[in-house]
Each structure stands twice: as structure tokens, then as C-alpha cells.
A = this chain, B = another copy of it.
């Protein structure tokens, strides 16, 4: 019997696209699980996830053999496995920097909490915002940030400040030991190699759409 590799020991380096797809398989698995579906095929995962069955199997094969030939995958089991792979068995401590419109929308985004990402602190430099009650948190002053991040053992920082302020914030949180950053500010950031950084850039997406529909291009 072939043993599944430990989820933290993938074979080879895993591409960002594979990780993204795992995340989307996970979402489908949650949906299927909620419906009481017990088993799922690579074909079904593929179809609903916008890829091919071979791709699904390949993605999973980097981490182990989770299916049964002739049958498919057990929904709850695969769900657990992917959670393990992505590191979602634990609670992640998140801080939000920037209490403006975007910060506020992110704060009330229920999905984060549901997936184990817990916002522990909110910071802003605007004295008009500091002190406001957000859920059971209070918006704290920017000055407290560095210390609070250490004390609260924050794992991930979400940056939702204006572009001009973003690099400064990032330098400070990296200095405070944060190793993962999700940036909503419309600017490219510099971080040390050891820090994971992702961008959510709505302008880039809109411009991509503009490109796709302007002129009559063959796609």
C-alpha cells in the first residue's frame, strides 16, 4: 500500500498556480461536504474548478495519493488533507492595517474567520479613526503597531492603506517579525526573500478585462 507523503513534505517545489487550485478545490469540497456528498472524482473537481481532471490529479499527486482507483476521493478525507497541505489546521492571527473603506469591508468579510483567519487587531494612523469600535476590537493607533504585532504574535498582515504609506507599513511589520503580507494598496512592495507577499490589485484586473474586450482579438 502506497503511503501518503506528509503534507508538509511535498515532492518538489510547488507552483503558485497549484496552490491556488488547491485552495479552490478546497472550496468545492466544503460545498460538497455541506451537501453530504461522500465521494468526488477528479473530473467533478475539475469541471467545477475550471480545470482538467489530469490537472487535479497532478496537483494532488505532489502531496500524496488520496484517492481510490475506480472510486474517486472521499470528500471529508480530501478536505482534511488539503487543509493540512495549506496549513489550515491551525488558527492564523491576522492584523489589518488601514481602517478605511477597504479595511472595513475586509473586516466584516465572514469567509476569513470561517477559514481560520482571525483578525486580532486593526491599526490606523488617523486619530479620527483610532478608538472606534469594530466588533469587539478597537481601532488602535499606528504607533502601537510594532509592539502589538509582536505581543499578539501576528502571523499575517493585511495592508489596506494608501499607496504612499504601504512600503513604510510593510517595513515596520517585517521588522516586527511578520512573514506573510496581503497587500491591497495599488503599489509594488519590497520585502526580504523570506517574507511571503501577495497582491490584490483591482486595477490590474480591470485593465486585463479592458485588454480582453478592446479590439477584436482572437483568444
Q: A8-B214, A202-B112, A214-B8 are in contact. Are A50 and B188 (CB under 8 A)?
A: yes
Binding site for B on A (CB under 8 A): 8, 10, 13-14, 16, 19-20, 22-24, 26-28, 48-50, 85-88, 90, 92, 94, 101-102, 104-106, 108-109, 111-112, 115-117, 155-156, 179-182, 186-188, 193, 196, 198, 200-215, 217-219
CB contacts (< 8 Å) of A105 on chain B: these are 101-102, 104-105
CB distance from A191 to the nearest CB of B (A): 10
Q: Are the CB atoms of A180 and B213 closer together than 8 Å?
A: yes
Cβ 8 A contact of A200, one of B14, B202, B212:
B202
CB distance from A52 to the nearest CB of B (A): 14
CA distance A87 to B215 in the complex (A): 8
Q: Are the CB atoms of B112 and A209 closer together than 8 Å?
A: no
